[in-house]
Amino acid sequence: MESSAYSIDFLQVLRSSWVIVLMLALSVVLVAITIERALYFRKTRMDSDAFMEKIKGYIVDGNYKEAIEYAKTMKGNVAAVVRFGLENRQFPREENDKLMEAKRMEERINLDHYLDIIGTLGTTSPFIGLLGTVLGIIKAFKDLASSAGGGPEVVMVGISEALIATAAGLAVAIPAVVIYNVFMKRVKTIAVEMDAVSKKLLVLLANYGEGASGRKRG
């Protein structure tokens, strides 16, 4: 019976603390973005080495149209860069290199989409939770001052409710930081792959391309 005096009414906490409601909303945002980004990276996953071997075969045979069509069938940032380079193969190597660099920058924007929100949640959520705790403690002492014979229970219950805000902030921040690091590692890997296939494509076009006269083909 005595322990019930210290029990926390979570519905009451939600009604009285806008910070907790905000943290719940931010957690929903985090889950939604995580699912969207996970599906995006899963959809764009591919074996870049096997892909370039296939592209090399088309280039060696002079089948550029088939190479472009094959690249179109492959979803992903790497395939998009290669397709763009093939479509602009008539330009000199230096110009095509610059064009593919611009394409890589565009694809990097797609890769980084929403990741800034996850990073922001990871860094700001603890401070939002701390703000809720500070406001809750202020409210607890205000309640103590207004209830002359309330006893220590008034402060203890109030502080317990206030600390929920800190816990909520950490509950959002910790997964957000982990998810952000995982996604950023994937972004960096794809960025390296895009750079690598760009260089490979330029070499293939230089040695087997339409303008590579006098070079052995096949």
Q: How far is 216 from 118, CA to CA, in rounded Å?
A: 51
Whole-number Cα distances in Å, 64 to 21, 54, 200, 209: 56, 12, 15, 9
pLDDT higher than 70, residue 217: no
pLDDT top residue among 95 and 142: 95
Q: Where are the alpha helices (DSSP H) in 5-114?
A: 10-16, 18-43, 48-60, 64-73, 77-87, 93-111
> 192-203: b or e for each residue (b if 16 or more CB lie within 10 Å)?
ebbeebbebbbe
pLDDT higher than 60, residue 218: no
Type and span of the H or E element at 125: helix 115-146
Q: How far is 213 from 206, CA to CA, in rounded Å?
A: 10
Proportion of the chain above pLDDT 70, given as a percent:
84
pLDDT of residue 142: 78
Instruction: Name the pLDDT band for 2 (thresholds 50, 70, 90).
Output: very low
The contacts of residue 72 (CB under 8 Å, 6+ apart) are: 79, 83
pLDDT higher than 70, residue 7: no
pLDDT of residue 17: 72
Q: How far is 77 from 71, CA to CA, in rounded Å?
A: 11
- Residue spans of the domains in the chain: they are 17-208
Instruction: Name the pLDDT band for 148 (thresholds 50, 70, 90).
Output: low
pLDDT of residue 10: 58
Nearest to 200 by CA among 50, 72, 62, 44: 50
C-beta separation of 210 from 65 below 8 A: no
pLDDT higher than 90, residue 105: yes
- Kindly report the length of the chain: 218
C-beta separation of 38 from 179 below 8 A: no
CA pseudo-torsion sign 30, 32, 36, 41: positive
This prediction has a pTM of: 0.81
* 8-25: average pLDDT: 72
pLDDT of residue 143: 74
What pLDDT, in 10s, does the model give residues 154-173? 677 667 777 888 899 999 99
